[in-house]
């Protein structure tokens, strides 16, 4: 019997025609390995076409027509990262949801370790951080450092790499985590709201592979302005959140996980 009933791999995509077939193939391979290992009973890949102006939407529909485990949601107009993730979360059907970028910033094989950690450590979210960030350039690295520091100051969230696109979440948290962001603040919003509500977050490091196809917009002035605007507008509401009752936060023992009590909040998991 599998540990989890299923996993949904979520890809928000905007103008990713050059790399999306490769991303979907890597996700499929990872999901098949998880199924064979008994981690999950079934799986799906969810693509959100965020109003792309290239062939992303038509390629996604082609892939979905060839495999019923690939599902596609289309935005008529571009809604940015937050809007795409929110649509993807609404579309996903399985117990676990792994969000990643279409440019594959990490080895999809790391999904197996993340699934193992989420059940062994009785966590609700596993988020990864990059071992080496020099590949993204000095300006981007400095911007990321400053943003992570701001998130820690605003929300007391001790997460090493808030915006890195590797987050494995239990679907159940989104019954209580009410997301509002349309922009790139969505990554921090998920973690900040979940932490305030008492859900358990753990972290582990992965090798980072910089984008080689398509265009990243995360460091553009417009994206940064929107992200900071959403952060300041939501800060008060997030800080007012309080932990949910223990019976709501409790996890089932049926997964064969540790039964000892564990503290809430982000915890770093040692590497191999």
pLDDT in tens, the chain (272 residues): 999 999 999 999 999 999 999 999 999 999 999 999 999 999 999 999 999 999 999 999 999 999 999 999 999 999 999 999 999 999 999 999 999 999 999 999 999 999 999 999 999 999 999 998 776 677 777 888 899 999 999 999 999 999 999 999 999 999 999 999 999 999 999 999 999 999 999 999 999 998 665 555 555 778 889 999 999 999 999 999 999 999 999 998 766 443 333 344 454 444 43
- CATH number of the 7-255 domain: 3.90.550.10
Q: Which helix (H) or strand (E) holds 47?
A: strand 43-50
What secondary structure does DSSP assign to 177-238, as a single string? -----SSTTHHHHHHHHHHHTT--EEEEEE------SS---TTSHHHHHHHHHHHHHHHHHH
Q: Which helix (H) or strand (E) holds 85?
A: helix 80-91
């Amino acid at each position: 019997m599998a540990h989890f009933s299923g996993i949904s791999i979520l890809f928000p995509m905007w103008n990713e025609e050059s790399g999306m077939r490769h991303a979907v193939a890597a996700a499929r391979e990872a999901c098949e390995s998880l199924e064979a290992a008994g981690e999950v009973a079934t799986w799906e890949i969810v693509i959100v076409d965020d109003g792309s102006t290239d062939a992303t939407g038509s390629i996604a529909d082609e892939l979905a027509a060839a495999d019923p485990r690939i599902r596609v949601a289309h935005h008529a107009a571009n809604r940015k990262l937050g809007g795409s993730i929110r649509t993807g979360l609404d579309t996903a059907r399985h117990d676990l949801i792994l969000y990643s970028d279409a440019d594959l910033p990490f080895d999809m094989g790391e999904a197996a370790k993340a699934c193992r950690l989420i059940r062994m450590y009785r966590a609700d979210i596993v988020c990864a951080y990059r071992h080496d960030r020099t590949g993204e350039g000095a300006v981007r690295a400095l911007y990321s450092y400053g943003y992570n520091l701001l998130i820690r100051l605003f929300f007391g969230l001790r997460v090493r790499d808030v915006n890195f696109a590797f987050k494995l979440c239990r679907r159940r948290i989104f019954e209580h985590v009410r997301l509002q962001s349309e922009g790139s603040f969505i990554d921090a919003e998920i973690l900040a709201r979940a932490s305030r509500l008492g859900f358990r977050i753990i972290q582990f490091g992965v090798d980072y592979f910089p984008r080689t196809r398509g265009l990243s917009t995360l460091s553009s002035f417009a994206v940064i302005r929107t992200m900071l605007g959403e952060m300041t507008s939501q800060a008060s509401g997030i800080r007012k959140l309080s932990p949910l009752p223990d019976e709501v936060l409790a996890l089932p023992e049926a997964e064969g996980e540790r039964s000892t009590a564990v503290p809430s909040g982000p915890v770093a998991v040692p590497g191999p």
